[in-house]
Amino acid sequence: MEVKGRQIEAFLKGPSAKLRLALFYGPDLGLARERADMVARKVCEDLSDPFRIADLPAGEIKSDPARLGDEAAAISMMGGRRVVRIRDADHATAKVIEAFLDDPPGDALVVVEAGDIGKGALTRAVEAAGEEAAVIACYPDEGEDLRSLISGSLKAEGLTIAPDALADLVARLGDDRRMTRSELAKLALFKGPDGARRGEVSRDDVEAALGVEAEADLSEIADACGGGDLEALDSAYARAVAGGETAPGILRTVMMHMQKVHLAAALIDEGLEPERAADKAFPRLLWKRKAAIQRQVRAWSPATAMRAIEQLAEAEILTRRSEIPADAVTGRALLLIAAQARRAGRQRA
Report pLDDT for 215: 41
Cβ–Cβ under 8 Å, residues 80 and 119: no
Query: pTM of the predicted model, to two decimals?
Result: 0.62
* Integer Cα distance of 157 and 312 in angstroms: 44
CATH class of 7-137: alpha beta
Domain ranges of the chain: 7-137, 143-210, 218-348
- Kindly report the number of other CB atoms within 10 A of residue 307's CB atom: 17
Asked whether the domain spanning 218-348 has the same topology as the one spanning 143-210, the reply is: no
Q: Is the dihedral of CA 47, 50, 56, 57 positive or negative?
A: positive
Report pLDDT for 56: 87
Spell out the per-residue pLDDT of the chain, length 349, in tens. Answer: 999 888 999 999 988 888 999 999 988 888 999 999 999 999 999 988 889 999 888 888 888 989 888 888 988 888 888 999 998 888 988 999 999 998 899 889 999 999 888 889 999 999 988 889 999 999 888 888 899 999 999 999 999 999 988 988 887 788 788 888 988 988 888 888 776 678 899 988 888 888 655 344 688 899 999 999 998 898 888 888 877 788 888 998 899 999 999 999 999 988 888 888 888 888 766 667 888 899 999 999 999 999 999 899 888 888 877 677 888 889 899 999 999 898 876 665 5
Q: How many CA atoms lie within 13 A of 216 on its CB side?
A: 28
Return the axis-axis angle of helices 230-242 and 163-172, rounded to nearest 10°.
70
Report pLDDT for 236: 86
Report pLDDT for 147: 92
* Integer Cα distance of 315 and 88 in angstroms: 49
Residues in the chain: 349
User: In the CATH hierarchy, which fold is given to the domain comprising 143-210?
Assistant: Helicase, Ruva Protein; domain 3 (1.10.8)
In CATH, which of 3.30.70.1230, 1.20.140.10, 3.40.50.300, 1.20.272.10 is domain 218-348?
1.20.272.10
